[in-house]
């Protein structure tokens, strides 16, 4: 039986991996996978890693020296992996789709909460404050939403928006056939959108795509939603746009410096990230800790596909879920 080291384990990970695993001896570690924790993987055939594990060249090379043959990512994104270092050493596999509905629905939940001030109303009524002052939102019907990225998640988000009667424009260098929405260039999307939602991967061409210049092109009072990757937005530029009210609200499930923070409890500590602290303090910002994926259906799919990826690797079966160096 092959031995697998499972890193950055959370209680919600265990249920489906324990139910579905019949082929592997899996040891669970709460530690994130970094160069300093690679010692825990010594003697294992493979590791299961997550989105905030640090899979840089030092980590990859140390795992290779310890005999690890495969890294099975239980996530879709792999911008945290140094693919050049892994090339011809360790096979990298991922879960490309686990529940696009979960992420798309969370994106709309963030926007609805921001627009209708649900977070503020919740806190007020708990103090028996039933005033409506400052809780005014706007109808979604007839508003324009700009969707950046029209993969599976983006397409589902578009369907949700159309269900509210919104006008949809979108940008993606890889266009789908016969869309029921309008593709535009980025500048047009920035200028015409009342809401902008990000559903694209973090690669060199998309890093900091929402920066000071991009915000300057947008409508006054635009809303920003990001459930993809934190590095798509230059956080300081977003903070400035919020302070000047260029951006009316932001719903963020990701943050560019989240690696050491998200998924953990720091409620009794002082956070030294001043930008994040300021964003959290703003009444027109909702931040969730990378939870958009977190549904029962998604957790089951993640476990199933991760275990199937390991099956394919150890059985010598070519898998479409293997990531190749020239893809990045």
The torsion region of residue 63 among left (phi > 0), alpha (psi -120 to 50) and beta comes to: alpha
Q: Which of 105, 234, 256, 258 is catalytic?
A: 258
Could you tell me the pLDDT band of residue 326, with boundaries at 50, 70 and 90? confident
Tokens 């990000």 appear where? 198
Q: How many residues does the chain have?
A: 328
Q: How confident is the model at residue 281 (pLDDT cuts 50, 70, 90)?
A: very high
pLDDT of 52 reads 87
User: Which member of 290, 304, 320, 324 is catalytic?
Assistant: 290
Find the catalytic residue in 74, 229, 234, 256: 229
Report percent pLDDT > 90 for the chain: 93
Q: pLDDT of 40-51, one tens digit each? A: 999 999 999 998
The confidence band for 144, taking pLDDT boundaries of 50, 70 and 90, is very high
Give the separation between CA 239 and CA 228, rounded to whole angstroms: 18
Give the model's pLDDT for residue 129. Answer: 97
> Please, what are the domains in the chain?
2-98+296-327 (3.40.50.720), 100-287 (3.40.50.720)
pTM of the predicted model as reported, rounded to 2 decimal places: 0.89
Q: How far apart are CA 156 and CA 171, in angstroms?
A: 15
Q: What local confidence, expressed as pLDDT, does residue 328 receive?
A: 42
Q: Which of 179, 237, 184, 169 is nearest to 208 (CA)?
A: 237
**Assigned token pair, 90:** 């360790």
Pairing of β 222-226 and β 195-198: parallel
Task: Write out pLDDT tens, residues 147-174.
Answer: 999 999 999 999 999 999 999 999 999 9
- Identify whether 258 is a catalytic site residue: yes
Nearest to 251 by CA among 292, 223, 229, 275: 223
pLDDT digits (tens, 9 = 90+) for 107-142: 999 999 999 999 999 999 999 999 999 999 999 999
Q: 221: which 2 tokens?
A: 């009072």
The number of beta carbons lying within 10 Å of the beta carbon of residue 102 is 22
């Amino acid at each position: 039986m092959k031995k697998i080291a499972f890193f950055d384990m959370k209680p919600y990970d265990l249920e489906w991996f324990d139910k579905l695993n019949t082929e592997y001896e899996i040891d669970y570690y709460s530690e994130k996978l970094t160069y300093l924790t690679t010692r825990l993987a010594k003697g294992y055939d493979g590791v299961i890693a997550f989105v905030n594990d640090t899979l840089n060249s030092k980590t990859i090379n140390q795992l290779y020296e310890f005999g690890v043959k495969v890294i099975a990512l239980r996530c879709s994104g792999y911008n945290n992996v140094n693919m050049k270092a892994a090339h011809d050493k360790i096979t990298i596999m991922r879960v490309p789709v686990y529940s696009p509905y979960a992420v798309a629905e969370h994106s709309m939940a963030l926007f609805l909460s921001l627009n209708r001030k649900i977070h503020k109303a919740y806190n007020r009524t708990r103090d028996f404050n039933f005033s409506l002052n400052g809780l005014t939102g706007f109808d979604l019907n007839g508003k324009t939403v700009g969707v950046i990225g029209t993969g599976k998640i983006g397409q589902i988000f578009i369907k949700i928006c159309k269900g509210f009667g919104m006008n949809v424009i979108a940008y993606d260098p890889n266009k789908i056939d016969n869309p029921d929405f309008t593709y535009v260039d980025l500048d047009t999307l920035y200028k015409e959108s009342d809401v902008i939602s990000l559903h694209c991967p973090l690669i060199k061409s998309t890093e900091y795509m929402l920066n000071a210049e991009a915000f300057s092109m947008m409508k006054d009072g635009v809303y920003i939603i990001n459930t993809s990757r934190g590095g798509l937005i230059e956080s300081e530029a977003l903070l400035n746009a919020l302070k000047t009210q260029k951006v009316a609200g932001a719903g963020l499930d990701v943050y560019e410096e989240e690696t050491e923070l998200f998924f953990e409890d720091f409620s009794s500590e002082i956070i030294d990230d001043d930008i994040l602290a300021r964003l959290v303090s703003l009444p027109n910002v909702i931040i969730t800790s990378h939870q958009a994926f977190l549904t029962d259906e998604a957790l089951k799919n993640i476990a199933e596909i991760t275990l199937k990826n390991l099956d394919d690797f150890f059985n010598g079966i070519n898998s479409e879920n293997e990531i190749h160096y020239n893809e990045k």
